[in-house]
Structure 1
Amino acid sequence: MSSETLDLARDIISNYSGRTLKIMEVCGTHTHQIFKYGIRKLLSSDISLISGPGCPVCVTPTGFIDEAVMLALEKNATIATFGDLVRVPGSEQSLALARSKGAKINIVYSPLDAVEYAKNNPDEEVVFLAVGFETTTPSAALAVKNAKEKGISNFSILGANKTMMNAYRMLKDSADAFLYPGHVCAITGLKEYDELKDEGIYGVVTGFTPKEILGALAMTVKKLEKGEAFEENCYKRVVTYEGSPSALKLIEETFDSCDSEWRGLGIIKDSGLCLKKKYSDFDARKKFNLPEITGHPNPHCRCGEVLQGKCTPKDCKVFGKGCTPEHPIGACMVSGEGACSAFYKYGGDF
Structure 2
Amino acid sequence: MSATEEAKQLLSDYDGPAIHIMEVCGTHTHEIFKDGIRQLLSPKINLISGPGCPVCVTPADFIDEAVMLALEKNCTITTFGDLVRVPGSEKSLADARAGGAKVKVVYAPSDAVDYAKKHPDEDVVFLSVGFETTVPSECLTVQQAVEQGIKNFSLLTANKTMPGAYLAMREATDAFLYPGHVHAIIGTSLCEKLRDEYGISGVCAGFTPSELLIALALEVRGLSKGKPFFINAYPRVVTHEGSPKAVELIHKYLKPVDAVWRGIGEIKGSGLALRDEYADFDARKKYSLPHITGRDNPACRCGEVLQGRCTSKDCPLFGKACTPEHPAGACMVSSEGACSAYYLYGRGF
**TM exceeding 0.5:** yes
Q: 1:232 aligns to what SS in structure 2?
A: strand
> Of residues 121, 126, 129 in structure 1, which corresponds to 2:127?
129
Which residue does 1:251 correspond to in 2? 250
Residue 348 of structure 1 deviates from its aligned partner by 3.6
Q: 2:255 aligns to what SS in structure 1?
A: strand
> Of residues 119, 143, 146 in structure 2, which corresponds to 1:145?
143
Q: 1:218 aligns to what SS in structure 2?
A: helix
Question: Equivalents in 1 of 2:328, 2:219: separation in Å?
Answer: 34
Question: Equivalents in 1 of 2:143, 2:55: separation in Å?
Answer: 24
Please identify, of 194-203 and 176-185, the stretch whose mean Cα deviation from structure 2 is larger: 194-203
Residue 138 of structure 1 deviates from its aligned partner by 0.2
Which residue does 2:331 correspond to in 1? 332
Kindly indicate whether residue 305 of structure 2 is the aligned counterpart of residue 306 of structure 1: yes
- Aligned residues between the structures: 348
Q: 2:294 aligns to what SS in structure 1?
A: coil
What is the RMSD computed on CA atoms of the aligned residues?
0.8
Kindly indicate whether residue 246 of structure 2 is the aligned counterpart of residue 233 of structure 1: no
Question: Equivalents in 2 of 1:29, 1:308: separation in Å?
Answer: 17
Report 1:1-350 matches (<5 A): 4-198=2-196, 199-350=198-349
Question: Equivalents in 1 of 2:187, 2:309: separation in Å?
Answer: 29
Residue 17 of structure 1 deviates from its aligned partner by 1.3
Residue 133 of structure 1 deviates from its aligned partner by 0.1
Question: Equivalents in 1 of 2:339, 2:10: separation in Å?
Answer: 28
Task: Give aligned-pair identity as a percent.
Answer: 64
Question: Equivalents in 2 of 1:201, 1:152: separation in Å?
Answer: 45
Please identify, of 8-17 and 324-333, the stretch whose mean Cα deviation from structure 2 is larger: 8-17
Residue 240 of structure 1 deviates from its aligned partner by 0.4
Question: Equivalents in 1 of 2:142, 2:191: separation in Å?
Answer: 29
Residue 347 of structure 1 deviates from its aligned partner by 3.1
Q: 2:246 aligns to what SS in structure 1?
A: helix
Q: 2:293 aligns to what SS in structure 1?
A: coil
What letter is aligned with 2:119? N
Residue 148 of structure 1 deviates from its aligned partner by 1.3
Question: Equivalents in 1 of 2:17, 2:171: separation in Å?
Answer: 16
Deviations 1:31-90 (A, max 9, x none): 111111111111111111110000111001000000000000000000000000000010
Q: 2:189 aligns to what SS in structure 1?
A: coil
Q: 2:38 aligns to what SS in structure 1?
A: helix
Question: Equivalents in 2 of 1:330, 1:129: separation in Å?
Answer: 18
Deviations 1:244-283 (A, max 9, x none): 1111110011111110010001110010001111111100
What letter is aligned with 1:75? K
Question: Equivalents in 2 of 1:158, 1:44: separation in Å?
Answer: 44
The TM-score, its normalising length taken from structure 1, stands at 0.98
What letter is aligned with 2:11? I
Residue 236 of structure 1 deviates from its aligned partner by 0.6
Question: Equivalents in 2 of 1:37, 1:50: separation in Å?
Answer: 16
Residue 334 of structure 1 deviates from its aligned partner by 0.4
Unaligned runs of 5+ in 1: none
- The runs of at least 4 aligned residues of structure 1 exceeding 6 Å deviation read none
Question: Equivalents in 2 of 1:4, 1:195: separation in Å?
Answer: 32
Question: Equivalents in 2 of 1:105, 1:89: separation in Å?
Answer: 15
Question: Equivalents in 1 of 2:114, 2:323: separation in Å?
Answer: 35
Residue 349 of structure 1 deviates from its aligned partner by 3.4
What letter is aligned with 1:165? P
What letter is aligned with 2:184? A
What letter is aligned with 2:110? L
What letter is aligned with 2:13? N
Unaligned runs of 5+ in 2: none
Q: 2:77 aligns to what SS in structure 1?
A: strand
Residue 229 of structure 1 deviates from its aligned partner by 1.7
What letter is aligned with 1:84? D
